[in-house]
Structure 1
Amino acid sequence: MTRPAPKQQRSQATVERILGTANTLFAAHGSAGTTTTQIAEAAGVSVGALYRFFPDKHAIGEALADRYLEVAAGRFGGVIDGVSALDEVPDALREIVAIAAGLALDHAGYYRLATELRPDQAGSVGFGVRSAMVDTFEGLLIGLGDEQDATVRRAGITLAIETVRHTLATCPTTEPARSIVISELAEMVVLYAERRLMTGEPPENAETGT
């Protein structure tokens, strides 16, 4: 196995330092309150060195989104791979919400950026993440035999994902308030999934026509 050259190792270390610093600054001040100069200074690199890797703040935000997605996909995948039947989905969802809550703390900068622009808006760093997550959970349900209308299913999955993201983005950071909110969030998502995503049962007004 070929070892990375020292220059490559230094470059990777610089990128990680920049991203770690940006994650912290974006979490505290948002995109509008953070400049590339501030990120470079806090990371201990020159502005020129930062621009070698990232042409602007948006590129840094995209890199944070990519890093979040890579970690999230690995952790969620470990749970999803263990689901073999639709009736196992509720317990998996509770575990996934708990994992997502931990990721929201570790990737607070990404979460802050993802709340500044809706995921369906141009330039939103959350767009690619949301699309990948919807595809993943849609594939899970289809693979488990879900047969409801594809458009309804995808809309429901998107709603559930956005509910989790928005709640975690505004969730208290102190205990016990945080744990209470996360527990209630998990139960809300599970109840919705059991009634709508797994059975396709329509809302009452759709049944009565009112």
Structure 2
Amino acid sequence: MSSQKIASTRRVPKQERSEKRVETMLAAAGAVIGQRGLEAATMTEIAAQADMSIGALYQYFPNKDALAAALRAAYAEEMDRRWSALVETAGDSPMAELATHLIQLLTVFVEDHPAYLFLFQASVKSDRSEQARQELRRRFADLFMLRAPDLTKDEAMRVAEVALMIVKGWTGLYASRPAAERKRLQAEVGTALTAYLCERLERQ
């Protein structure tokens, strides 16, 4: 048998197929929840959106709560990747620019993933590990220590935690305000974050 024919008949590893099915299910859940809301969305609709049987969906997620938690965790991981990429390119950016980019990054993510607001408002708990949360804080802390060498590691971690709390707090404001007011509030949150970072990092 030719190598080309062998390649064409090779089966995709079971784990890889399973991961792709989960990705499909999560994408379908995001689409349905984003359109209908968490409470109104049903497992039947999500299965149909994923183009698979309801039985197949239940094999991976026993109920909607489990599916919502997995989707929230996936969103958190994606946000971590985006924030980490921003940290790597932040360099000596002015504080106002860094703060603006942090707020804009979250805003764009929420606009691209409307299901996130429903998950956030419903306080869906993510099964994301504490280790992953700490890793993101550590990356921000490392950046802040470069900007303010006199900061201790513990101090930098606290600054990172407060900065991320301010950024994530923007999600609640975004969800509770009409579209016309969001831009103005986004600027206010950016001002608050800039002031905090300048106070802690530029006056050491």
Structure-1-length-normalised TM-score: 0.69
Q: Is the 8 A contact 1:104 1:169 kept in 2?
A: no
Identity %: 23
Task: Give the alignment partner of residue 51 of structure 1, picking from 50, 58, 74.
Answer: 58
What letter is aligned with 1:64? L
| Letter paired with 2:43 | T
Cα 1:139–1:57, aligned 2, differ >3 Å: closer, same or farther?
farther
1:63 equivalenced with 2:67 (yes/no)? no
Q: Name the amino acid aligned to 1:102.
A: V
What is the RMSD computed on CA atoms of the aligned residues? Answer: 3.6
1:94-125: CA deviation from partner (whole Å, max 9, x where unpaired): 112111111011222133212222xxxxx612
Aligned residue runs from structure 1 range 191-206, under 5 A: 191-195=195-199, 197-198=200-201
Distance 1:60 1:134 in 2: 26
Q: Which residue of 1 aligns with 2:4?
A: none
Which stretch shows the higher mean deviation, 179-188 or 129-138? 129-138
2:173 is aligned to 167
How much does 1:12 deviate? 4.8
Task: List gaps (5 residues or longer) in structure 2.
Answer: 1-6
Give the match for residue 124 of structure 1.
125
Distance 1:184 1:71 in 2: 25
AA partner of residue 125 (structure 2):
S
Partner of 2:111: 105
CA separation of 1:17 and 1:199: change in aligned 2, threshold 3 A: same
Q: Give the structure 2 partner of residue 89 of structure 1.
A: 95
Larger Rg: 2
| Counterpart code for 2:98 | A
Q: TM-score with structure 2 length normalisation?
A: 0.70
Q: Which amino acid aligns with 2:109?
A: L
- Whole-angstrom distance in 2 between the partners of 1:57 and 1:72: 22
Q: Which runs of 5+ in 1 are unaligned?
A: 118-122, 202-210
Aligned residue pair count: 191
Q: Indicate if the aligned counterparts of 1:113 and 1:125 stay in contact, CA closer than 8 A.
A: no
Cα 1:91–1:128 change in 2 (3 A) is: farther
Say which SS state the counterpart of residue 45 (structure 1) adopts.
Answer: coil
